[in-house]
Amino acid sequence: MTNSKNSELIIASGKGNAEAVRSLLKQDIYIHAQDKNGCCALVAAAYGNHLEVIDLLIASGADVNMKDNSLQSAYLISTSEGYTDLLKKTLAAGADVHSTDSYNGTGLIRAADRGHVDIIRELLKTEIRINHINNIGWTALLEAIILGDGGKRHTETVRLLLDAGADPHLADKDGKSPLAHAKNRQFNEIIKLLEEAI
């Protein structure tokens, strides 16, 4: 095992070079080696959504919950970037749905603020905490409204969250409710959903 081989694995994974990764995995290599940013091969591959490489690494025992210095794991990257296939692969490989990012945000919160409807549907099949509050004081429901655009994806996000048990009364740190935020932004469809839920 040499440091250079470990570095080669991280670089090849980040480039999505499945052939090089397959070759390197046959050698005496440490699959969880990290670069100066704490990035391991699987995280490097996840950033690029390189699914073939991800399959190879997971099959070789890569930990889907391992994080880099910015607290990103393959699982968390899938939730923020909308990589549904990657999410399914990490969940199948034992992803911890309760793991959080640098804002103490869950994958559900990350997906909600971006309106990644397919990701949210998958996460709602798990035991993820729907009403988890991050260190800004926001739930997934609040993020979908405050950081969303009020369009179809974010409206569907709100509907899915409410149907799954998101608490429409949970306010932000200033005591402002999801409904108050929706009214402030004139998100009429979301206002209607929240009023029906209250």
Domain ranges of the chain: 1-96, 100-198
pLDDT value of residue 28:
84
Q: Residue 1: pLDDT above 90?
A: no
Q: Residue 176: pLDDT above 70?
A: yes
Average pLDDT, integer, range 69-76: 98
| Spatial distance between the Cα atoms of 33 and 40, rounded to a whole number of angstroms | 6
Average pLDDT, integer, range 118-130: 98
65-85: burial string, b at 16+ Cβ within 10 Å, e else = ebbbeeebbbbbbbbbbbbbe
pTM of this structure: 0.95
**Confidence band, pLDDT 50/70/90 cuts, at residue 188:** very high
**How does the average pLDDT of the chain come out, rounded?**
97
CATH 1.25.40.20 fits 1-96, yes or no: yes
> Which residue type occupies 99?
S
Q: Residue 37: pLDDT above 80?
A: yes
Average pLDDT, integer, range 182-196: 98
CATH 3.30.70.360 fits 100-198, yes or no: no
Domains 1-96 and 100-198 share a fold: yes
Average pLDDT, integer, range 152-174: 98
Q: Residue 2: pLDDT above 60?
A: no
The DSSP line for 15-61 is HT-HHHHHHHHTSS--TT---TT---HHHHHHHTT-HHHHHHHHHTT
Task: Tell me the CA end-to-end span of the chain in Å, nearest whole number.
Answer: 59
